[in-house]
């Protein structure tokens, strides 16, 4: 099996799949050095790589320094609700992480890697950066918490047990910076040093937890006096409180909420602010996933280790909530965040546990954030700004990304107070969790055959619940931060989208669009079509786009939200060819569509003749109720248009990113694929009989037909500057003044009206020419005044804003020497008209058109039916050429289907 297919493999095939080079899986991590094995050593197992960092990150400072804060303000009932909500959200996200991580080989970058490879570069890059910022802020929170714990013991402030370290804002920043430098030193050495040290830290934390659990069994009730600075200098507040041991009265007193003033921020606490602080103890669930680049088997270790770690921490949190609410007076909980060292059988246990857990969580966040930044830099989603972060040491440690992250965390510690930034951290994490759930939900809804995770304990319901829970709690915690973070996410998404980065990861949007389009195409029933909702569905046949780009741009304005397909026939016989030459051409045509900025599909076919290929496209182009109803052809003449590629700046220089941004099609290859138009022979790939046969075939198949001439004279954007839209709804090749409001004439009016509604043509004035016979030398008679009034009334009913221009032409008929057949149905077409029209008459008609429509931006003329006899094809084309000679952009239209409606 080739490397190109390896992203589709599930982890169940082989553990070795997870160690494939990053180039195979869309991750360039291994390519940063010459030796992929040395650059990306995978040596961590489930316990050391996932369970240990996840447990330590989730315990951190919240467990030791904010349990009393949560119970004291929220009470046991609200605290249990917070814990339940937090772990429901976390659990739903964990199920999504497990599903995604077991659907293929996972490389470095953790949650960012999984989101980006599932949702594509736009969502992946934007969410990845937000998740990176969440880890940066979380690292700052852990460092500030550690400093707070140190000052509680060694600070010179009121209430500390040892007055050794000076207290104050700048001293706090200094201590935070020193601790952060220690974390930086360890992280620069590498994650393996941290993973080994973390096991020792976990042992210390576990001993601390056990000491807290067993302390109520050995300690009796005792009284405490807590002192805080007062509102004025040199004043203090003294609070007398107690530790009661297990006591039912204490438990009852701590059941209900009692939100009050927080002594660290001097602000009144609420359910939202307390939940924001408490939720920070649940934000470490991706600490193990962030180590995906160092795990031996991430697809097995991430789900297994994360579930074990989260279940363990939930039990500990629940146990601590019950112990604290049953043994401690509420005043003690609210006024002393570090109360655990007061009620422990050996207080240094708690101090050591707090220091170790906070330091470990800070290092874990610093390492995890640097890995995310390194993955972002390798994917080149943000250009040169993050490019240095892709540099690694010989051992594979992304030391530049670590330095980047350290600098940002250093900025965070200037906040100074832990509680002041917890809301922002929580919002960032919740947004990242919602994105993970969204990635899993999108994969599930897309029903992609290759989404086959080995972990099956999830469904779209769990994903949806995780998304809703995360978003709701974001706005409950802090609406301002939530709105700002979503706005930042959207800006990042737009930035990456317009940068159009190269991606071989696949786009979940394409899978979802396919799923929805298929569903709606089945609902689009052609039997339910109604004339009120008719719109042009155009198949434009293109030989060489160099000569007809202006026509492509014009038809794009004419489609009015309808189907627009560029059709091309490649001549050849598949039996004599080794492979289908058409398949390799789609990229060039699609790149052309992108560069022109038109909303068009491309349909190519291989055939022995252009006529037969056109029949194929008319029959098979489109799907369901979306099939072309109108065929547009370039005019058959000797004109050699200018080369659009040489005139337009978008083809003279390639505006955009590197070659890969255009799916392997760069400017030189595009120029080579569509050869320059040097002579008229390149335009004459078919005979007059074949060209007219294509028109006849389309009419037989019930398609409307348009012939476009001189559209290379339009402006670069598909519209001439100024001018009018002129409509000649009468068959000018029939020199009689009979009726003119047949189906074809009304089709002309509709097309002109549709064009006039396009934004680029909205300011053009529409004129309708009414050709009449003069009943006297003075001009039109009263009979034609009635016809003009009738036409005006019809335009009013059809809601078409246009002026009517009356043109007398019986003198021209006489001058041209035409024989008027008299009577007959005007719709019978050219077959009856050919014997009645002289060459002089055609020249006079051309002169009349030049006289009245010379300044028009575009002209709509009536196209008569082609002749039935093939030997009349050349004469038919010659007559059309004479009538439209030197007119400028002209569309000859033959409509077969009713398209106008006066009903509501």
pLDDT tens for 334-390 read 988 878 888 888 888 888 888 888 888 888 888 888 888 888 888 888 878 888 888
**CA–CA dist 590, 353 (Å, integer):** 61
More confident position, 465 or 277: 465
More confident position, 775 or 896: 896
Contact between 293 and 107 under an 8 Å Cβ cutoff? The reply is: yes
Please state the rounded mean pLDDT for residues 820-829: 38
> Tell me: the pLDDT tens digits for 472-503?
988 888 899 899 999 988 888 888 877 756 56
Q: Which of 61-75, 114-128, 698-712, 792-806 has the lowest mean pLDDT?
A: 114-128
pLDDT band of residue 160 (cuts 50, 70, 90) is low
**CA–CA dist 712, 708 (Å, integer):** 10
Annotate 777-843 with DSSP letters as a single string. TTEE-HHHHHHHHHHHHHHHHTT---EEEEEE-HHHHHHHTPPP--SS-GGG-HHHHGGG--HHHHH
Contact between 44 and 195 under an 8 Å Cβ cutoff? The reply is: yes
Alpha helices, H only, 605-762: 610-620, 644-647, 649-652, 667-673, 688-700, 743-757
Return the pLDDT at 787: 77
Q: Please give the backbone phi and psi of residue 501, each rounded to the nearest 5 degrees, phi first.
A: -70, 155
Domains 536-654+662-689 and 719-774+781-815+835-903 share a fold: yes
Burial level of 120, CB count in 10 A (0-12/13-18/19+)?
A: buried
Q: Please give the backbone phi and psi of residue 548, each rounded to the nearest 5 degrees, phi first.
A: -140, 25
> Tell me: the pLDDT tens digits for 196-245?
778 888 899 899 999 999 999 888 888 888 877 766 667 777 888 889 98
CATH 1.10.472 assigned to domain 536-654+662-689? The reply is no
Q: Is pLDDT of 99 > 70?
A: yes
Q: Is pLDDT of 14 > 60?
A: no
Average pLDDT, the chain: 80
CA 887-893-897 angle, to 5 degrees, is: 165
- Whether the CA torsion 789, 793, 798, 802 is positive or negative: it is positive
Q: Which helix (H) or strand (E) holds 134?
A: helix 121-154
Please state the rounded mean pLDDT for residues 532-553: 88
Return the pLDDT at 782: 58
Domains of the chain by residue range: 46-508, 536-654+662-689, 719-774+781-815+835-903
Fold of 46-508: Amino acid/polyamine transporter I (1.20.1740)
> Tell me: the pLDDT tens digits for 274-307?
988 888 778 778 878 777 777 888 888 888 999 9
Beta partners for residue 728, in sequence order = 861
For helices 52-65 and 348-379, the axis angle rounded to 10 degrees is 130
**CB within 8 Å of 817: residues ≥ 6 apart:** 838, 840, 841
Which residues of 124-183 form beta strands (DSSP E)? none
**CA–CA dist 365, 135 (Å, integer):** 5
Beta partners for residue 227, in sequence order = 238
Considering only CA atoms, which of 568, 526, 816 is closest in space to residue 674? Answer: 568
> Tell me: the pLDDT tens digits for 835-882?
467 788 888 889 989 989 888 999 999 998 898 888 889 999 999 999
Please state the rounded mean pLDDT for residues 527-541: 83
pLDDT band of residue 659 (cuts 50, 70, 90) is very low
pLDDT band of residue 463 (cuts 50, 70, 90) is very high
More confident position, 772 or 760: 760
Annotate 231-295 with DSSP letters as a single string. SSTT-EEEEEEEE-SS-HHHHHHTTS----EETTTTEE--HHHHHHHHHGGGTTTTTTGGGGGGB
Return the pLDDT at 673: 81
What is the distance of C-alpha 587 from the center of its chain?
21
CATH number of the 719-774+781-815+835-903 domain: 3.40.50.620
Q: Is pLDDT of 729 > 80?
A: yes
Pull the structure tokens for residue 287. 């600490």
């Amino acid at each position: 099996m080739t490397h190109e297919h390896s992203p589709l493999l599930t982890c169940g095939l082989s553990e070795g799949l997870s160690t494939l080079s990053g180039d195979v899986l869309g991750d360039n991590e291994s390519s940063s050095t010459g030796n992929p094995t040395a650059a990306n050593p995978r040596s961590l197992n489930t316990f050391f790589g996932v369970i240990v960092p996840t447990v330590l990150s989730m315990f951190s400072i919240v467990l030791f320094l904010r349990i009393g804060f949560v119970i004291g303000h929220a009470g046991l009932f609200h605290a249990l609700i917070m814990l339940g909500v937090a772990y429901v959200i976390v659990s739903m996200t964990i199920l999504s992480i497990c599903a995604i991580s077991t659907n293929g080989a996972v490389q470095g970058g953790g949650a960012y890697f999984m989101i980006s490879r599932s949702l594509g570069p736009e969502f992946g890059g934007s969410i990845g950066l937000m998740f990176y910022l969440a880890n940066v802020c979380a690292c700052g929170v852990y460092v500030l918490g550690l400093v707070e714990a140190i000052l509680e013991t060694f600070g010179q402030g009121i209430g500390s047990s040892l007055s050794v370290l000076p207290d104050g804002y700048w001293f706090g920043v200094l201590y935070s910076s020193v601790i952060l430098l220690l974390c930086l030193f360890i992280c620069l050495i590498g994650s393996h040093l941290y993973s080994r040290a973390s096991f020792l830290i976990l042992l210390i934390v576990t001993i601390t937890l056990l000491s807290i659990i067993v302390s109520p069994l050995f300690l009796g009730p005792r009284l405490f006096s807590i002192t805080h600075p007062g509102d004025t200098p040199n004043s203090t507040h003294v609070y007398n409180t107690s530790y009661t041991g297990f006591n039912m009265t204490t438990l009852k007193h701590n059941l209900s909420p009692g939100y009050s003033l927080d002594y660290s921020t001097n602000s009144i606490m609420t359910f939202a602010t307390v939940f924001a602080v408490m939720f920070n103890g649940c934000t470490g669930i991706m600490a193990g996933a962030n180590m995906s680049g160092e795990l031996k088997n991430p697809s097995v270790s991430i789900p297994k280790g994360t579930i074990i770690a989260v279940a363990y921490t939930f039990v500990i949190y629940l146990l601590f909530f019950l112990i604290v609410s049953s043994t401690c007076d509420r005043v003690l909980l609210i006024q002393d965040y570090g109360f655990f060292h007061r009620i422990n059988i050996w207080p240094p246990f708690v101090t050591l546990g707090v220091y170790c857990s906070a330091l470990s969580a800070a290092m874990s966040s610093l390492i995890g954030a640097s890995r995310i930044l390194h993955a972002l830099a390798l994917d080149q989603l943000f250009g040169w700004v993050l490019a240095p972060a892709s540099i690694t040491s010989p051992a594979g440690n992304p030391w530049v990304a670590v330095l980047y992250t350290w600098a940002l965390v250093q900025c965070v510690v200037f906040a100074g107070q832990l509680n002041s930034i917890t809301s922002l951290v929580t919002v960032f994490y919740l947004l990242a969790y919602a994105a993970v759930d969204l990635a899993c939900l999108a994969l599930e809804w897309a029903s992609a055959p290759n989404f086959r995770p080995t972990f099956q304990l999830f469904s779209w319901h769990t994903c949806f619940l995780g998304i809703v829970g995360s978003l709701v709690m974001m706005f409950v915690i802090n609406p301002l931060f939530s709105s700002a973070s979503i706005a930042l996410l959207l800006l990042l998404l737009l930035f990456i989208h317009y940068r159009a980065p190269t991606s071989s990861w696949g786009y979940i949007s394409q899978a979802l669009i396919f799923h929805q389009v298929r569903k709606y195409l089945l609902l689009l029933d052609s039997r339910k079509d109604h004339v009120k909702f008719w719109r042009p569905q155009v198949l434009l046949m293109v030989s060489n786009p160099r000569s007809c780009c202006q026509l492509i741009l014009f038809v794009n304005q004419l489609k009015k939200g309808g189907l627009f397909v560029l059709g091309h026939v490649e001549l050849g016989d598949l039996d004599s060819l080794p492979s289908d030459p058409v398949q390799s051409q789609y990229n060039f045509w699609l790149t052309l569509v992108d560069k022109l900025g038109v909303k068009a599909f491309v349909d190519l076919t291989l055939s022995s003749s252009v006529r037969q290929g056109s029949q194929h496209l008319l029959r098979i182009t489109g799907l369901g109720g979306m099939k072309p109803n109108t065929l547009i052809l370039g005019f058959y003449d000797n004109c050699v248009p200018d080369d659009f590629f040489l005139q337009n700046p978008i083809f003279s220089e390639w505006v955009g990113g590197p070659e890969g941004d255009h799916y392997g099609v760069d400017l030189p290859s595009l120029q080579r694929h569509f050869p320059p138009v040097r002579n008229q022979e390149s335009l004459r790939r078919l005979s007059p009989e074949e060209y007219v046969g294509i028109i006849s075939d389309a009419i037989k198949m019930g398609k409307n037909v348009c012939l476009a001439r001189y559209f290379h004279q339009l402006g670069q954007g598909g519209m001439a500057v100024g001018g009018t839209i002129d409509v000649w709804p009468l068959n000018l090749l029939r020199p009689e003044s009979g009726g003119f409001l047949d189906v074809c004439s009304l089709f002309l009016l509709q097309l002109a009206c549709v064009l006039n509604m396009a934004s680029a043509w909205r300011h053009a004035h529409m004129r309708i020419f009414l050709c009449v016979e003069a009943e006297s030398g003075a001009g039109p008679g009263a009979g034609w005044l009635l016809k003009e009034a009738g036409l005006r009334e019809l335009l009013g009913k059809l809601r078409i804003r246009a002026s009517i221009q009356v043109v007398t032409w019986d003198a021209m008929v006489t001058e041209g020497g035409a024989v008027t057949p008299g009577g007959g149905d005007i719709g019978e077409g050219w077959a009856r008209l050919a014997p009645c029209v002289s060459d002089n008459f055609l020249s006079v008609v051309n002169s009349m058109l030049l006289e009245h429509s010379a300044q028009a931006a575009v002209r709509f003329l009536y196209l008569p039916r082609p002749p039935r006899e093939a030997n009349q094809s050349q004469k038919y084309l010659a007559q059309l050429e004479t009538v439209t000679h030197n007119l400028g952009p002209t569309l000859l239209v033959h409509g077969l289907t009713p398209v106008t409606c006066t009903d509501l």
